[in-house]
Amino acid sequence: MADNSIAISSKGHESYIDHKGKHSGLLGWIFSTDHKRIAILYLVAISSWFLIAVLLGFLIRLELLTPGETIVGAQTYNAFFTLHGIIMVFLFVIPAIPAIFGNFFLPIMLGAKDVAFPRLNLFSWYLYIIGGIFVIIAIFLPGGAPDSGWTFYIPYSIRTSTNMIFTLSAAFILGFSSIVTGLNFIVTIHRMRAPGMSWFRMPLFPWALYATGWIQVLVTPIIGITLLLIIVERVFRVGLFDPSLGGDPVLYQHLFWIYSHPAVYIMAVPAMGVITEIITVYSHKTIFGYKAIAFSSLAIALFGSLVWGHHMFSAGMSDTANFIFSLLTFLVAIPSAIKVFNWTATLYKGSIDLEPPMLYGLAFIFLFTIGGLTGIMLGTLSLDIHLTDTTFVVGHFHYVIFGTTGFAFIGGLYHWFPKMFGRTYNKKLAKISFWILLVGFNILYFPMFVMGWLGMPRRSYDYLPEYQSYHVISTIGSWILILALIIIVYTFIKALRSGERTHEMNYCGGETLEWKVETPPTHENFDEIPVITGGPYDYKQNELESEVE
Amino acid sequence: MSSEGNVAVHVHRDDEATKLGMWLFLFTELTLFGGLFLIYAVYRFTHQADFHIAAQNMDTFIGALNTIILLTSSLTMVLSITAIRRGSKKLSLLFQGITIFFGFIFLLNKYFEWSHEIHLGNFPGSEILLSKSQGDILFFGLYYVMTGLHGLHVIIGMIVIAIMMRFTLKNVITRNNNIKLEVAGLYWHLIDIIWIFLFPLFYLIS
């Protein structure tokens, strides 16, 4: 490593962190159109919101420790779960992986110097920040923090006196930011692949981002217009959704879920892309079923856009509609399972390195399977009538969203952190915190399945005493999980401040292009645009070559 | 493409990418309005008679006039692009100006239409409208929201073309580099197309 770094410095290359542009200091970051700097801007902003939302989740669990009032009143509790949902969904889970890892690594993995529209990219970050500011305004303005739940169901969201308009505008602006990112990625993938990189020589993380980009572009405007209509409804009493004026609240639910169900795949598909990279790198083996994984991303995007009705089985749709939505929901399980089988097949006979990212990768498969199978249960009409609006649903989507996007986010950060910052982290601490996180996660969310099955309603401030033992277990789980998160944050901050510097280009034996550029990458990523002559995961070829040498 | 390694001062320009980006953006506009068209379809189906009667309030003449104005403005937009490609900066500026002017006339007509309806009490929240049938409330709700959102797009389109005029003046848009004007034109045509769907839905089907 030492001679490596000498070689680099003698070439006189400065990393994107040291690069001097038009502006210096902080301005050099917030006015930079370098995709890597924008990724870091997103990383800082998104992680901050994540921690705020975690704090809210912690408070929700604390409140549920005992029946009745424990720490806050019912109204504050409603604000807690609403804000936890809004912040997690719109400010963390949806942008996290595309905006951070996508921005940083998509151009590099394609062999490009930047995304197609760098200024638009920076603009999306500003939209994100403005959306965040709107959420803060909505919390602190007199009138009170929003209490409608993150789903803004009609008619409550047009009746409540809390600060809905700012909240809805925030979600609208954040949706716009998400569209801009998706649009940018699609064009980048179409136009900026290095010479020789045909579609099927493209790594699978870009494939996942490509599928995600299309969902972002095509369905996000639907929630945009729907949220705007709630604002119009509140201000002008237009009546398109208000039942007292002839509007149909179920129509609102349709429009809301036409976006918000595919949004689940905006969250999950990029996470699957990250996991695909991690699994193949730390198995040191060519990915199994490259095309199957690539196409299953597209299939998930397609089928996932047609199943929104399964959120509304008890809302009064016709039996025919219920039946069709249930059937389509089962179909989504097929491409999802294809991915899981391909990952496990990749592991088979691989030389598995249990590095911290790989631990997260393996946990992902485990948690995603539980989340996916409970999803099948919820997609079954007869079971859903029993389970809808119980904590079973809460358990299910936390397994899916935290268990996939959350774990892929942390795992991806371990995977790419040295590449992004040129510093190493404490692997021992990373492994210990992983196990604490996994244990805490399951203690926190698994009891929700059980008490949900027994009838514990979700979003409920109070509960019958017979549910208390489950709530106590779950709350203890939340403490363990937060302990793990504290260690993880500490690990990263410590690594940033005093981690050992590294310039090793390929510290994990990866084959994609980000392992062939400097650590951290230079401002331009590549001195010369690479010419691609083979597939992205040619581990066998590599072994043969090293044997010859 | 640049395998020779011309890294340092390479101005990246990819007209295809710009066009693709604009098309994707137009898709988002289509699904944005698509949500409203969906709502229209549902309520038209559930309140057929009310929608039929309410639509007779609309002045088909002004609607048709506005359709002609907007269609013509799309023509002048195309002419401005052809003009700049043939090297005539002045002519291009003239046509861009005419396009903005047509947009303005369109909005003026819309203003008169809206004021007429508001004068009659057909506006959201008014006592007169609330006393009518639910189908009437929904029809006028959709009318204001859809034509309002469309009008907002006309205003944005006019601003965009005004910026293009400035670019043309400053020679940012030139004979050989006119992709900005072209994608602005795409946006303007989208506004036109959406109106082509709004016009029959609110004026003709009655």
| Domain-wise residue ranges, chain A | 24-548
A54 pLDDT higher than 60: yes
Cα–Cα distance, A205 to A200 (Å, whole number): 12
- Is B49 domain-assigned? no
Cis peptide before A206, with omega less than 30 degrees from 0?
A: no
pLDDT digits (tens, 9 = 90+) for A216-258: 999 999 999 999 999 999 999 898 999 988 899 999 999 999 9
- Is B77 domain-assigned? yes
Residue A297 near residue A269, CB atoms below 8 Å:
yes
Chain B positions in Cβ-Cβ contact with residue A154 (cut-off 8 Å):
none
Helix axes A407-421, A249-283, angle to 10 degrees: 50
- B165 to each of A292, B78, B112, how far by Cα in Å? 49, 14, 28
Q: Would you call B32 an interface residue with chain A, using a CB distance cutoff of 8 Å?
A: yes
Give the phi and the psi of residue B157 in degrees, each rounded to 5: -60, -40
Q: Which of A365, A347, A338 is nearest to A285 (CA)?
A: A347
- Answer yes or no: do B28 and A221 touch at CB < 8 A: yes
Mean pLDDT of chain A: 93
Cα–Cα distance, B103 to B158 (Å, whole number): 7
For residues A12 and A473, the model is more confident at: A473
- Answer yes or no: do B2 and A184 touch at CB < 8 A: no
- Answer yes or no: do B138 and A186 touch at CB < 8 A: no
A24-548 in CATH: which number?
Answer: 1.20.210.10
Residue A547: the pLDDT is 52
Eight-class DSSP state of B202? I
pLDDT digits (tens, 9 = 90+) for A500-543: 999 999 999 999 999 999 999 999 999 989 999 988 998 876 55
Q: Which of A3, A547, A242, A435 is nearest to B137 (CA)?
A: A242
> Of B31, B43, B145, which has the smallest distance from its Cβ to A229's Cβ?
B145
The residue segments making up the domain with residue B167 are 15-43+63-204
Cα–Cα distance, B17 to B15 (Å, whole number): 5
Cα–Cα distance, B28 to B34 (Å, whole number): 9
Provide the residue type at A238 as one letter: V
Least confident of A3-7, A299-303, B8-12: A3-7
Residue A307: the pLDDT is 94
pLDDT digits (tens, 9 = 90+) for A23-41: 888 899 999 999 999 999 9
How crowded is the C-beta side of A116, counted as CA atoms within 13 Å? 23
- Answer yes or no: do A246 and B47 touch at CB < 8 A: yes
Residue A549: the pLDDT is 46
Instruction: For residues A454-466, give the mean pLDDT.
Output: 95
B4 pLDDT higher than 90: no
Nearest CA in chain B to A242: B138
pLDDT digits (tens, 9 = 90+) for B94-149: 999 999 999 999 999 999 999 999 999 888 888 888 888 899 999 999 999 999 99
End-to-end CA distance of chain A: 20
Residue A118 near residue B14, CB atoms below 8 Å:
no
> Of B7, B12, B137, which has the smallest distance from its Cβ to A246's Cβ?
B137
B189 pLDDT higher than 60: yes
> Of A183, A246, A531, which has the smallest distance from its Cβ to B3's Cβ?
A531
Q: Which two tokens stand for residue A443?
A: 């203690």
Q: Would you call B5 an interface residue with chain A, using a CB distance cutoff of 8 Å?
A: yes
Helix axes A204-236, B134-169, angle to 10 degrees: 120
Query: Which pTM value belongs to this model?
Result: 0.93
Nearest CA in chain A to B12: A116
- Give exposure, A7-26, as e/b (b: 16+ Cβ within 10 Å): ebeeeebebbbebeeeeeee
Mean pLDDT of chain B: 91
Q: For residue A474, name the pLDDT band (cuts at 50, 70, 90).
A: very high
Which pairs from A514-518 meet CB under 8 Å and 24+ separation? A514/A105, A514/A108, A514/A109, A514/A416, A514/A419, A515/A419, A517/A108, A518/A8, A518/A13, A518/A15
A472 pLDDT higher than 50: yes
Instruction: For residues B156-169, give the mean pLDDT.
Output: 97
pLDDT digits (tens, 9 = 90+) for B26-74: 999 999 999 999 999 999 999 999 999 999 888 899 999 999 999 999 9
Q: Which of A35, A90, A190 is nearest to A521 (CA)?
A: A35
Chain A positions in Cβ-Cβ contact with residue B39 (cut-off 8 Å):
240, 251, 255
Residue A10: the pLDDT is 38
Collapsing DSSP to helix, strand or coil, A17 comes out as: coil
The DSSP code sequence of A211-279 is HHHHHHHHHHHHHHHHHHHHHHHHHH---SS-GGGT--HHHHHHHHHHHHHHHHHHHHHHHHHHHHHHH
Collapsing DSSP to helix, strand or coil, A457 comes out as: strand
Facing residues of A15 across strands? A522
B9 pLDDT higher than 50: no
> Of B24, B46, B144, which has the smallest distance from its Cβ to A217's Cβ?
B24
- Is B9 domain-assigned? no
- Is B181 domain-assigned? yes
- A507 to each of A274, A324, A422, A502, A524, how far by Cα in Å? 17, 49, 11, 9, 21
Chain B positions in Cβ-Cβ contact with residue A248 (cut-off 8 Å):
42-43, 46
A168 pLDDT higher than 50: yes
CA distance A46 to chain B (A): 25
Q: Which two tokens stand for residue A400?
A: 């899916």
Residue A543: the pLDDT is 56
pLDDT digits (tens, 9 = 90+) for A350-365: 999 999 999 999 999 9
Residue B127: the pLDDT is 87
- A430 to each of A55, A329, A422, A427, A527, how far by Cα in Å? 21, 37, 17, 5, 34
> Of B5, B20, B35, which has the smallest distance from its Cβ to A225's Cβ?
B35
Q: Which two tokens stand for residue B79?
A: 């002419």
Residue A117 near residue A105, CB atoms below 8 Å:
no
Eight-class DSSP state of A97? I
CATH of the domain at B199: 1.20.120.80
- Answer yes or no: do B7 and A524 touch at CB < 8 A: yes
Q: Which two tokens stand for residue B96?
A: 């861009």
- Is B139 domain-assigned? yes
Q: Which of B160, B146, B148 is nearest to B189 (CA)?
A: B160
Eight-class DSSP state of A96? I
Residue A44 near residue A91, CB atoms below 8 Å:
no
Residue A25: the pLDDT is 86
Residue A14: the pLDDT is 86
